[in-house]
Structure 1
Amino acid sequence: MEIGEQVFQEKKRWKRELWNWIKAIGIVILSVALIRAFLFTNYIVYGQSMMPTIQDGERIIVNKIGYELHQPERFDLIIFHATESTDYIKRIIGLPGDHISYENDVLFVNGEPLEENFLDFYRETYSAGLFTEDFRLEAVTGESTVPEDCVFVLGDNRQNSLDSRHIGFVGMDAIVGKANIAYWPLSKFRIF
């Protein structure tokens, strides 16, 4: 084989290799964009409203497709659009049709007391009276039950949370997804 032919074949091989790399990188970028747009996304949590469950500055992964397949469940951690430019993370306390009240730091749903084990740490260390102040759904929302296509949410840090007691119900269409994983910092990696 002549040197000219050899150079030509080498250039041809190099171009083929470059084209294969461009296609592979394009497929990866497209896949990541599709996954992020339709399946999962990540968030940085700002503020203390979900402490101790989620700390200020932690990074979480949110499952965006889960609620397309099934309905939200009580105590799910959700991300939702609170305003056009702000998303919140809170815990679902009330589902459509539920009546919610708090009496002496006990959650009542439809008249039945429910355990909130995720609050044990705060209740043990909180010394300024009731951790969750008494309220009835009617008093904070004007409704006797959670409306259809809505949920009632609270932050785990009940003394420092802007939630349904203040902003009202969260429409199902405002929910971005369910928080599944805290991944940063790595030392606090966990699945919810």
Structure 2
Amino acid sequence: MSQSKNEVWEWIKALIIAVLLAGGIRFFLFAPIVVDGESMMPTLHDHYRMIVNKIGYKIGKPERFDIVVFHATEERDYIKRVIGLPGDHVEYKDDVLYINGEPIEEPYLDQYKQDVNGPLTNDFTLEEVTGLDKVPEGHIFVLGDNRRFSKDSRIIGTVEMEKVLGKTNIVYWPPSDFQIIK
């Protein structure tokens, strides 16, 4: 009888440790997220399931073109691409992105530009859409790859780094579309 009580207790301890480890990993290190909508097409499709790396920005900073997940509202997280970093002046003119006056290539949009008639987005400057001359310290400027149909920094403003959950670049579902996005 006492041996079976010991065995039951050992199983309970193992289950508690497993639950705590899984919860800790999900809360502090990695978390799943589902792409909701088409704002990141053609790079990410609606209902893709991805992994968010939550620790990367605790030890480093976002880089231009990282795909990030952030708290847009209390209820919703958004997935967008980092375009402007602190101190950057951002402009979009004639379907060309300019950062600090220099044209920047966006190879991830090449196929989309070929498939779409007309410009991907209207011309804008950071100041026109946010009222700011430069991206403030502690903030980033983000855009969806589907520039025509994305609710991004042009509408919601710059994103505070405290609201960024992490970087995502691994699509794990559906399995046929498994990929690591560069």
TM-score band, normalised by shorter chain = over 0.9
Secondary structure, in 3 states, of the residue corresponding to 1:88? Answer: strand
Deviations 1:95-134 (CA, angstroms, capped at 9, x unpaired)? 000001111111110111111111112111001x111321
Secondary structure, in 3 states, of the residue corresponding to 2:151? Answer: coil
After TM superposition, the structure 1 = structure 2 runs for residues 45-124 of structure 1, keeping only pairs within 5 Å, are 45-124=35-114
> TM-score, with normalisation over the residues of structure 2?
0.96
Secondary structure, in 3 states, of the residue corresponding to 1:132? Answer: coil
Aligned to 1:180: 169
Secondary structure, in 3 states, of the residue corresponding to 2:45? Answer: coil
Please say if 1:150 is aligned against 2:139: yes
**Structure 1 counterpart of 2:156, from 163, 167, 175:** 167
Deviation at 1:191, TM superposition (A): 1.6
Aligned to 2:180: 191
Alignment gaps of 5+ in structure 2: none
Distance in 1 (alpha carbons) for counterparts of 2:8 and 2:175: 36
Question: Based on CA coordinates, which of the two structures has the bigger radius of gyration?
Answer: 1
Secondary structure, in 3 states, of the residue corresponding to 1:72? Answer: coil
Distance in 1 (alpha carbons) for counterparts of 2:135 and 2:169: 25
Task: Percent identity, please.
Answer: 56
Deviations 1:5-34 (CA, angstroms, capped at 9, x unpaired)? xxxxxx333333222222211111100001
Aligned to 2:8: 18
Deviations 1:39-96 (CA, angstroms, capped at 9, x unpaired)? 1111111110011111111111101111010011100101111111111110000000
Aligned-partner residue type, residue 15 of structure 1: K
> TM-score, with normalisation over the residues of structure 1?
0.91
Aligned-partner residue type, residue 138 of structure 2: D
Alignment gaps of 5+ in structure 1: 1-10
